[in-house]
A and B are shown apart, each in its own frame.
Chain A
Amino acid sequence: MTATDEEQAGPPATLSQPTPAAATDFLETALARDSLITLFGRCTVEYDGRAASYLGPGDRHVMLKPDGSLLVHTGEGQKPVNWQPPGCTHEPRLCEGSLQIRSVRSNPAEELLVTFESVVQVAAFDPTDESTLAVEGTEADLKRRILDDPSLVEPGFQPLATERETPAGAVDIFGRDAAGRIVVVELKRRRVGPDAVGQLGRYVEALRRELHADATVRGILVAPSVTDRARDLLAENGLEFVALDPTA
């Protein structure tokens, strides 16, 4: 670690083979600073919530994030074996000579207790990360695909606004077609049934009422696929369908 890094992160940043008391003090300081903390050592994990569980002694990597989440990893797999979601409170303490980390969530009531027999290393980091991840894996992906390439909806389609408010709720993409007509695009990430057609129809109706009387408003449902019943309903209501997956 360079001197500059140390300045930014603020000492102490790492302890090797700390005593339980030293590790507890380190954690208290790091938690007060809202640091991201990692520990490696031999521990047991008790979970008490919707279902109780106990994980016997083993070498684990434990990470405490500033948002209140906690992850317990073993040497295998990409998923933690135990975890707590964001919003939990973490409390380190010295209990009968061992470091204990208690992670508590009030609603629903869940408690995770990690008891360290020994700590090999504990480290604290102060992450800054300006790039926030956009809402992932969902209608947002589909929206991004269309905004990047509006012709996926149809040639000449021009998006004008996203999440435009109407009296029936915010529409996903509001735009114009090649002939200048208003187009409302409703996005779904999965195969859709009649409910989605109902929703799109209500946005189209709401916009027709809101805009001047002779405005033509087209409604296009964009989803990977539709049921036969939904296809019939689209036709009955003069709405259109474009098949498109959220991921290219």
Chain B
Amino acid sequence: MGHRALVAYEQADGTFDLHYSQWGALGFRLAYTLAETDPFGPDETVEPTPRATGLSFDVILTDYLDFLLHEAFYVVSPGFDVTAYVPVWFGLETDDEVVGNGALVPVIWRNGTPVDVEYLEGWVDGAKTSLRAHHEQCALTPAAIQEFFAETLPEWFGNDVILASEVR
């Protein structure tokens, strides 16, 4: 599927320019390949033409970030500090909302290598398998599932987890 990523470049006025990268999620490499001198990475890993400009962070989460499609999300500060996030989709069914229905879990780094991302993905897959079983018994509504993730993700992965459902 490529390794699709969205990159939000914060502008001086506090709004964001949103760019797309087909391979940028691979190994969360954009976290260390983007620099002021090379804002879109080697070989323009990030598409230089923005998909949208002048966005607020909340609007990116509720209208642009596709939690099913994008494997990584990056925020680039005006000083070119890059923060990488793993998008976690809250949906269980193929017709569930894919935008605005998830959370961003910050990537933890050790010696320049992202750690625990596979653990997080496994945690989510395991949780979803269990929730889906309950859901199929009609014991859980989509809202209850959203609530479950919104409560337990920060509990497991820290208070820096950003919830899209919260800004809705």
Is there an interface contact between A110 and B112, defined as CB atoms closer than 8 Å? yes
- List residues of B (85-115) whose CB comes within 8 Å of A's CBs: 89, 91-94, 96, 98, 108-113
A193 touches B4 (CB 8 A): no
- Contact check, A199 vs B2: say whether CB atoms are below 8 A apart: no
A195 within 8 A of B: yes
Q: What A residues does B117 contact at CB under 8 A?
A: none
**Which of B1, B35, B89 sits near A172, CB closer than 8 Å?**
B1
Shortest Cβ gap from A233 to chain B (Å): 6
- B 140-159 contacts with A by CB, 8 A: none
Taking CB atoms, residues of chain B closer than 8 Å to A194 are 92-94, 128, 132
Is the interface on chain B under 10, 10 to 19, 20 to 34, or 35 or more residues?
35 or more
> Is A186 an interface residue, CB under 8 A from the partner?
yes
Question: A106 — which chain B residues lie within 8 A by C-beta?
Answer: 81
Q: Which of A49, A50, A87, A169 contacts B33 (CB 8 A)?
A: A87
Cβ-defined contact, A198 with B3, below 8 A: no
A170 CB contact (under 8 Å) in B22, B33, B96: B22
Give the size range of A's interface with the partner.
Answer: 35 or more
Query: Which of chain A's residues 202-245 have a Cβ closer than 8 Å to chain B?
Result: 202, 227, 229, 233, 237
**Cα distance, A106 to B83, chains bound together (Å):** 12
Determine how close the nearest CB of chain A comes to the CB of B129; give it in whole angstroms: 8
1/0 contact string of A183-202 vs chain B (CB within 8 Å): 00011100001111111011
A residues neighboring B (CB under 8 Å): 47, 49-51, 82-87, 105-108, 110, 132, 135, 138-139, 163, 168-170, 172, 186-188, 193-199, 201-202, 227, 229, 233, 237
27 contacts between A and B (CB under 8 A): A49-B111, A50-B108, A50-B111, A83-B111, A85-B32, A86-B32, A87-B33, A107-B31, A107-B82, A110-B112, A135-B23, A135-B26, A163-B2, A169-B4, A170-B4, A172-B2, A186-B1, A193-B128, A194-B94, A194-B128, A194-B132, A195-B89, A196-B1, A198-B94, A199-B68, A201-B94, A233-B94
Known contacts A84-B112, A233-B94; 8 further A-B pairs (Cβ under 8 A) = A50-B108, A139-B2, A169-B69, A188-B1, A194-B93, A197-B94, A202-B69, A202-B98
